[in-house]
Structure 1
Amino acid sequence: MGLYLCVFDASGNELEGVEVGSYADFNFFRDAVVAVVEKGRLGAVCPVLNNHPDSDGEWSSSESKQLITELDQVIEGFSQCPPVEYNSHWKRQIAKTFGIKPLTLLECFFDVDGEPLIERLQQLAKVSVESGQPVLFQ
């Protein structure tokens, strides 16, 4: 089952969405954040990202504002680490299709369209803040 994060306007029209991959993929990403950015202390640096269950709910627009800052820290930390092996078959296929050859940990995380995951999450959070609407977990 896949995880789709999205923002809708007040009329129910989708403003932005990110198909992350499976729940296991999202947890792999968050585990890397705990290891690299939070130095093993879950939620110490990225509480919005890591203290939210991945299977339900939402990030409010105010949480999205904090999430943008947290993701900046993730970018900084991941940019300084070497790449890791992909955790799923679909990632290997997408990497092959789009010629993705990670040089850093940051480049190991992308959405199902091969777009950089952290940049996509930041864009989603920005739309949430600008629209005043939450990011929904679906």
Structure 2
Amino acid sequence: MGLYLCVFEDEEELEGVEVGSYADFGELRDYVTRELEGGKQGSRFPTLILHSDGDGEWSAAECQTLRDELTTIATELSARPVVAFNSEWQRNVAKSIGLVPKNAFESFIDVDGEFLLERLRWLADFAYRQQLPILFQ
């Protein structure tokens, strides 16, 4: 099952990110917990790590904190070695667009082959500026 994170206003979708599967999102959160939080889940990045990955939302207020967490995570992952793609679809997308990750930041992509942390950070910033939540679908 795929995870789609999106921002709606009334009934209109304004923006969204197709993350991949829930397992792919879990891989990112597991990596952050293991490598950046020393295995202590949510100790540095509670908004990203402790939020349920099921149906729900990040409120507009949480999006500001989420954006800041994602900025720190992106910076720190940029200084870490490459991580192998965990899904066949990721390997296929990367190959199709000629992506060869140079660091851990570039090792996590969305279904379009864009860097996942960058896309999530942009979505969180957009949601915060619009004062709208990010919905999990």
Q: Does 1:71 align with 2:77?
A: no
Given that 1:83 and 1:104 are in contact with CA atoms closer than 8 Å, whether structure 2 keeps it comes out as yes
Give SS of 1:114's match.
Answer: coil
* Per-residue deviation, 1:103: 1.1
Please show how residues 1-138 of structure 1 align to structure 2 within 5 Å.
Answer: 1-9=1-9, 11-138=10-137
Given that 1:34 and 1:40 are in contact with CA atoms closer than 8 Å, whether structure 2 keeps it comes out as yes
Given that 1:94 and 1:112 are in contact with CA atoms closer than 8 Å, whether structure 2 keeps it comes out as yes
Residue identity opposite 1:72 in structure 2: T
Structure 2 unaligned regions, length at least 5? none
Structure 1 unaligned regions, length at least 5? none
Residue identity opposite 1:6 in structure 2: C
- How much identity, in percent, do the aligned residues show? 50
2-structure distance, mates of 1:98, 1:37: 29
Given that 1:79 and 1:104 are in contact with CA atoms closer than 8 Å, whether structure 2 keeps it comes out as yes
2-structure distance, mates of 1:86, 1:75: 17
2-structure distance, mates of 1:129, 1:105: 26
**RMSD of aligned C-alpha atoms?**
0.8
> Structure 1: which 4+ aligned runs deviate by more than 3 Å?
none
User: What is the aligned residue count?
Assistant: 137
